[in-house]
Amino acid sequence: MKKFLYVVVFFVLLTGFLPAQAKKIKPDDVTQPQKTQLEKRQIQTREYDSTDKAMVMKAMLNVLQDEGFIVSNANPLLGFISGEKDFDINDRSIDIENEFGVKKNAINWAGVCIAVVDSTANVTEYGKQIRVRVNFKRKLLNVYGNAQSIVEIDDENYYQRFFAEVDKAIFLQKQKI
């Protein structure tokens, strides 16, 4: 009977003590609200003062290849380009944490051996301009090629850096360099 009483008292104290020890949420812990579809499109889209769709597509292909993407599909009629960039997470020369925002220890623990950035682009004539929309996704794959994680890249700086390279490539294309 005494053992039972001790067990009951222990659980009563434990249940009364745990809520007081619960972690308080700090403002830093609250996740940012997800971007709307319109906000994502604004980040992913640029317009160029040109009517030469083929030249802009060529510039896009050059930038993707310069960035290490293997272009798997390019359809000039539709203005569609797709490709991917693979990373071996065991390659010490690659900063996986910087590229994917995940600590290497966490990736190894999850059984991930390949990290991939997928890209699709749409190049469209829009009046006297060419509109380019591009999006990127990060995928972490296990040894069997199964996705452990797929995350859309919605970092505005990532797209700004990419489009800065496209701007340079279009300038070079126009100069025929």
Round the CA-based radius of gyration of the chain to a whole number and report it: 24
Mean pLDDT of the region 29-53: 86
Structural domain count of the chain: 1
pTM above 0.85, yes or no: no
Residue bearing tokens 């999850």: 110
Residue 12 covered by a domain: no
Residue 111: phi and psi, rounded to 5, are 80, 20
Q: Is residue 17 part of a domain?
A: no
Q: Render pLDDT for 157-169 as a digit per residue (tens, 0 to 9).
A: 999 999 999 999 9
Reported as a pLDDT band with limits 50, 70 and 90, residue 31 is low
CA 164 to centroid of chain Cα atoms: 18
* The two three-digit tokens of residue 148, written as one number: 């452990």
CATH number (domain holding residue 113): 3.30.310.80
Q: What is the C-alpha separation between 3 and 16, in angstroms, rounded?
A: 20
Domain holding 164, by residue range, is 36-175
> pLDDT (tens digit, 9 = 90+) per residue, 109-158?
667 878 899 999 999 999 999 999 999 999 988 888 888 889 999 999 99
Place of tokens 């797209």: 159
19: in domain = no
